């Protein structure tokens, strides 16, 4: 493809003390792609996602958002300096993140959560932000809960608000970090349903998940991480239909029961 990838991860290593969680991961995500990252806990998939929005700083390696380096600022002379936080914050606006624990701000209403960043980070007027917020809430089917406080919502509803909050920044890519892992089983479907709709609308998404059904049906590409490396990747039909590596075979065998 000649087009600049939306996200390009280049040889990312992440070390916490003596523990190397990521041992050199590279991949690209193009516009409209849905990429699922799967793997056992401790395989590094959440850390990788957190590196992409710079909540963790890669020890070495870099991430490019539409060709722009997230970790370094190059000048005309070709020298590279670490990118200052203010610029990282500007680049983060293009990445919508949905967390496992929802992380809504409890002192703001649902609409307040959704419009806070569009209003005060993007600089939209309150009116324009509220209009946009209403549209985002409609996409997660919660427009009637706009004036509730998060504590009054179910886990599934809270996670859908979190998705609306991320959408309201009109990001180039949505990052999902195990979005259904802290939900009761009967509440995961409403969240996965919203995510399927986003994927069908052409949203670029990177999803860390344990939902094999979702990974298989919705993704364009699946990446299986093991011990900080991409062990196997490919289109879901090929991955799940004819797994190549023994480790991936063992991993999916656990989900078939």
Partner 1 sequence: MSETLQQLLDISIFWEYRTVLLRGLAVNFYVFVCAAIVALSLGLGAALLRVSRRRPLRALGTLHVEIFRNAPDYVMVVWVHFVLPLLIGTLLHTRFELNPFVSAIIALGFVYSGYFAETFRAGIEAVPIGQIEAGRSCGMSDRHILWRIVLPQVVRRMLPESINQFISLFKATTIVSLIAVPDLMYQVSMITQQEMRPLPLYTGAALVYFAVILVASYALRAASERWRNKIFA
Nearer to partner 1, 18 or 86 (CB): 86
Tell the residue number behind the tokens 């590196």, with chain if given.
51
**Given candidates 3, 19, 86, 186, which one binds partner 1 under the rule CB under 8 A?**
86
CA 124 – CA 234 distance, rounded (Å):
40
CA separation, residue 42 to residues 19, 144, 180, 217, 246 (Å): 11, 39, 18, 25, 18
Span 111-130, contacts to partner 1 by CB under 8 A:
116-117, 120-121
Nearer to partner 1, 28 or 116 (CB): 116
Query: Is residue 250 a contact point for partner 1 (CB under 8 A)?
Result: no
Nearer to partner 1, 132 or 239 (CB): 132
Nearer to partner 1, 21 or 162 (CB): 162
**Given candidates 59, 69, 103, 238, which one binds partner 1 under the rule CB under 8 A?**
103
Query: Is residue 107 a contact point for partner 1 (CB under 8 A)?
Result: yes
Query: Is residue 93 a contact point for partner 1 (CB under 8 A)?
Result: yes
Alpha helices by DSSP H, listed for the chain, are: 45-52, 85-92, 110-120, 126-139, 155-167, 185-200, 212-218, 236-241, 246-256
- Give 4's DSSP letter: P
Nearer to partner 1, 69 or 103 (CB): 103
User: With left for phi above 0 and alpha for psi between -120 and 50, is residue 38 left, alpha or beta?
Assistant: beta
Task: Compose the 14-53 pattern: x for residues touching partner 1 by CB under 8 A, - for all others.
Answer: ---------------------------------------x
- Cβ 70 to partner 1, closest distance in Å? 12
Counting other chains too, the contacts that 244-250 makes at CB distance below 8 Å and 24 or more residues apart are 248/224
CA 200 – CA 203 distance, rounded (Å):
7
Nearer to partner 1, 29 or 212 (CB): 29
Number of residues that bind partner 1 (CB under 8 A): 32
Span 157-186, contacts to partner 1 by CB under 8 A:
162, 165-166, 169, 175
Tokens describing residue 98: 């949905």
- Cβ 100 to partner 1, closest distance in Å? 8
H-run or E-run covering 36: strand 34-38
Q: Which residues lie across from 16 on neighbouring strands? A: 19
Q: Which residues lie across from 205 on neighbouring strands? A: 34, 174
Binding site for partner 1 (CB under 8 A): 53, 55, 85-86, 89-93, 95-97, 99, 101, 103-107, 116-117, 120-121, 149-152, 162, 165-166, 169, 175
């Amino acid at each position: 493809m000649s087009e600049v990838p939306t996200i390009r991860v280049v040889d990312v290593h992440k070390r916490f003390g003596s523990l190397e969680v990521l041992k050199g991961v590279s991949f690209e995500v193009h516009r409209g792609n849905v990429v699922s990252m799967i793997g056992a806990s401790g395989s590094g998939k959440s850390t990788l996602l957190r590196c992409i929005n710079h909540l963790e700083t890669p020890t070495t390696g870099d991430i490019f958002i539409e060709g722009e380096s997230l970790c370094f600022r190059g000048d005309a002379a070709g020298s590279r300096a670490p990118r200052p936080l203010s610029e990282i914050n500007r680049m983060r606006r293009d990445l919508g993140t949905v967390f496992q624990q929802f992380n809504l701000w409890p002192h703001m209403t649902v609409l307040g959560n959704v419009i806070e960043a569009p209003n005060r980070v993007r600089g939209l007027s309150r009116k324009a932000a509220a209009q946009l917020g209403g549209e985002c809430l409609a996409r997660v089917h919660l427009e009637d809960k706009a004036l509730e406080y998060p504590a009054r919502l179910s886990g599934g509803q809270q996670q859908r608000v979190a998705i609306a909050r991320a959408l309201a920044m009109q990001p180039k890519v949505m990052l999902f970090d195990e979005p259904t892992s802290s939900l009761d089983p009967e509440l995961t479907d409403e969240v996965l349903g919203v995510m399927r709709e986003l994927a069908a609308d052409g949203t670029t998404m990177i999803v860390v998940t344990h939902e094999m059904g979702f990974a298989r049906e919705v993704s364009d590409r699946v990446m299986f991480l093991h011990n900080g490396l991409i062990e196997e990747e490919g289109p879901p039909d090929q991955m799940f239909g004819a797994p190549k590596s023994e480790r991936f075979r063992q991993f999916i065998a656990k989900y078939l029961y």
